[in-house]
């Protein structure tokens, strides 16, 4: 761990440029014009040792401010208004509320780990809760996270088009990961998309894709109604035989019946029809391994049943 290179809040103030305005110690507001380099520490080479300085009044600094052990005289600020400069960079917010139900939680902004080999990062720490709920690591791309003026969240995009918009050059994916931390078996699922399909991937069990939707699928290609009924597009179900090139169609007809037909390269043949009355019409031969019962008043191939 890095050793903090200062042990107190002692300050050396150099290069105050008053530009016609004086430091008025007896006024409510002290005005300092110009840039300030504040060196915090004790026993610095070439710098005297000073006691802590406490200013009980308001202070206005007209210029830029550098705080930290490595601030230099004649610091070149560029466009910086406030600069923190040393090897351990922290800003701590200490809430001293001690009565009633006022909030008291302390927070900290941490820049980079203090351990050798640690992360280059920007973090917000919940000091009382002992957690770090927010971290950005160095090297994160532009627009890794953006919230636009409409409250839309973009991940990888400067122009989120919906409430949550994820952009990536190859298969943008959302992972839902149950990690086992609460005693349940770990399981991870991915929701992803690319030029070939939208998919659900079982990331725990071999990366299988049990569900896919291809681009160009029509509206209402698959609908689960409030009753639990599953509707497929126009009310039909196609069972494709990739080996023979024949499509089998299960279709509810406009007359209320139900048909099974085959599409053999554009030639559609209805092979089975079930009518609302319960009658069954079959085109072609029927092979039976067993017996067929025929009640009186019905016919089989034109022959009356007795």
pLDDT tens digits for range 32-53: 566 666 654 444 444 555 678 8
Supply 291's token pair: 């017996």
Q: Which of 74-78, 238-242, 260-264 has the least mean pLDDT?
A: 238-242
Kindly report the number of other CB atoms within 10 A of residue 66's CB atom: 21
Contact criterion met (CB below 8 Å) for 107 and 124 = yes
| 8 and 78 part of one domain | yes
Residue 5: CB atoms within 10 Å: 14
Spatial contact of 88 and 60, defined as CB atoms under 8 Å apart:
no
Question: Tokens 């532009």 map to which residue?
Answer: 142
Whether residue 46 is found in the same domain as residue 113: no
Whether pTM exceeds 0.95: no
Q: What is the bridge-based pairing of β-strands 299-300 and 187-193?
A: unpaired
C-alpha dihedral sign at 135, 141, 145, 150: positive
Residue 258, C-beta contacts closer than 8 angstroms, at least 6 positions apart:
250, 251, 252, 273, 274
Average the pLDDT over each of 2-6, 84-88, 129-133, 286-290 and give the range with the smallest value.
Answer: 2-6
Residue 155 has pLDDT above 80, yes or no: yes
Q: Last residue of some domain: 47, 70, 86?
A: 86
Q: Do both 1 and 82 map to the same domain? A: yes
- Residue 180 included in any domain: no
Q: What is the mean pLDDT of the chain?
A: 83
**What DSSP character marks residue 141?**
P
Residues 111 and 148 in one domain: yes
Q: Residue 127's domain spans which residues? A: 88-165
Q: How many domains does the chain have?
A: 3
Contact 42, 7 (CB under 8 A): yes
Beta strand pairing call for 89-93 and 82-84: unpaired
238 to 14, 25, 224, 263: CA distances (angstroms): 83, 88, 17, 10
pLDDT of 17 > 50? The answer is no
In a domain, 288, yes or no: no
How far apart CA 11 and CA 68 sit, in angstroms, is: 10
Torsion of CA 285, 291, 297, 301, to 10 degrees: 20
User: Are 34 and 19 within 8 A, CB to CB?
Assistant: yes
Instruction: Specify whether 69 is located in the same domain as 2.
Output: yes
Q: Decide if 224 is inside a domain.
A: no
Q: What is the mean pLDDT of residues 109-114?
A: 98
């Amino acid at each position: 761990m890095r050793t903090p290179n200062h042990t107190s809040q002692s300050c050396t103030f150099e290069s105050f440029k008053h530009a016609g305005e004086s430091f008025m110690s007896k006024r409510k507001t002290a005005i300092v014009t110009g840039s300030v380099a504040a060196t915090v520490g004790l026993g610095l080479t070439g710098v005297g040792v000073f006691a802590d300085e406490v200013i009980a009044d308001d202070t206005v600094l007209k210029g830029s401010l550098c705080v930290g052990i490595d601030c230099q005289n004649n610091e070149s600020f560029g466009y910086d208004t406030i600069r923190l400069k040393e090897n351990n960079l922290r800003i701590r917010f200490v809430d001293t509320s001690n009565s009633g139900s006022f909030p008291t939680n302390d927070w900290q902004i941490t820049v980079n780990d203090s351990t050798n080999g640690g992360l280059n990062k920007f973090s917000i720490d919940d000091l009382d809760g002992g957690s770090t709920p927010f971290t950005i690591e160095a090297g994160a791309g532009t627009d890794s996270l953006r919230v636009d003026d409409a409250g839309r969240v973009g991940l990888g995009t400067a122009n989120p088009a919906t409430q949550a918009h994820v952009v990536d050059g190859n298969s943008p994916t959302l992972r839902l990961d149950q990690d086992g931390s609460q005693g349940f078996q770990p399981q991870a699922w991915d929701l992803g998309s690319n030029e070939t399909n939208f998919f659900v991937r079982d990331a725990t069990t071999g990366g299988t894709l049990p569900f896919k939707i291809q681009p160009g699928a029509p509206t209402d290609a698959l609908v689960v109604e409030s009753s639990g009924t599953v509707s497929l597009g126009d009310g039909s179900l196609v069972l494709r035989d990739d080996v023979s090139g024949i499509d089998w169609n299960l279709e509810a007809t406009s007359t209320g019946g139900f048909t099974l037909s085959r599409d053999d390269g554009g030639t559609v043949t209805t092979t089975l029809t079930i009518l609302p009355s319960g009658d069954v019409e079959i085109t072609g031969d029927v092979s039976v391994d067993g017996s067929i019962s025929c009640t009186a008043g019905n016919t089989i191939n034109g022959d009356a049943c007795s």
